[in-house]
Amino acid sequence: HEILILNGPNLGHLGKRQPDIYGSQGMNDVPALVDTLLGARAKDIELSFFQANGEGELIDRLELAREQGIAGIVFNAGAYTHTSLALADCLAWIGIPCIEVHISNVWARPETIRHQSFMAAQVVGVIAGFGIDSYALAVAALLNRFERS
Ligand code: DQA
């Protein structure tokens, strides 16, 4: 099963960006975290990674994922989570199961705009607040779903 890990704006420098909020690990650490979490089951998945700061590039990548027959998406849309009807519209039609992830617990943060998500209605579920582990947990959730369907 090929899984796309898609990151939106300001997530290209994870590990350096506000480490007090987003931690000091980067996306390079995700494959090892997935291996630790999934053990031998990790062989059943192939991860690809993409990050873009622009909304249009993210939509283009999601449309490409559909053409490629990608099995599942782990998507941290960054601030677009809270603003982008365009990205939500894209998730609504491409027909790929998607898990919304956030590194921080967005509902525990003081800016109330972070408590709402345009993505949430178009995804299988949301994983937030586990730091970089949020991505590995989402990969595991997708794999469970594939194995049960
Ligand atoms: C984030 C939370 C968003 O509110 C923020 O705009 C981000 C990162 C997270 O992973 O915690 O860029 O999605």
5-60 pLDDT, tens digit per residue, is: 999 999 999 988 999 999 999 999 999 999 999 999 999 999 999 999 999 999 99
- Active-site residue 80, yes or no? no
ipTM of the complex, rounded to two decimals: 0.99
* pLDDT at residue 15, as a whole number: 87
Task: Look up the CATH number of the domain holding residue 18.
Answer: 3.40.50.9100
- CA nearest ligand 1 atom 7, residue: 78
122 lines ligand 1 (CB under 6 A): no
- Token match 């494959």: residue? 31
Percent of the chain residues past pLDDT 90, beyond the cut: 95
Contacts of residue 7, defined as CB under 8 A and 6 or more positions apart, other chains included, come to 14, 27, 49, 50, 51, 52, 76, 78
Q: What is the pTM of this model?
A: 0.97
* pLDDT at residue 50, as a whole number: 98
Give residue 113's domain range.
2-148
User: Which structure tokens are listed for 135?
Assistant: 């991505």
Catalytic residue among 13, 80, 102, 115: 102
Query: For the chain, what is the domain count?
Result: 1
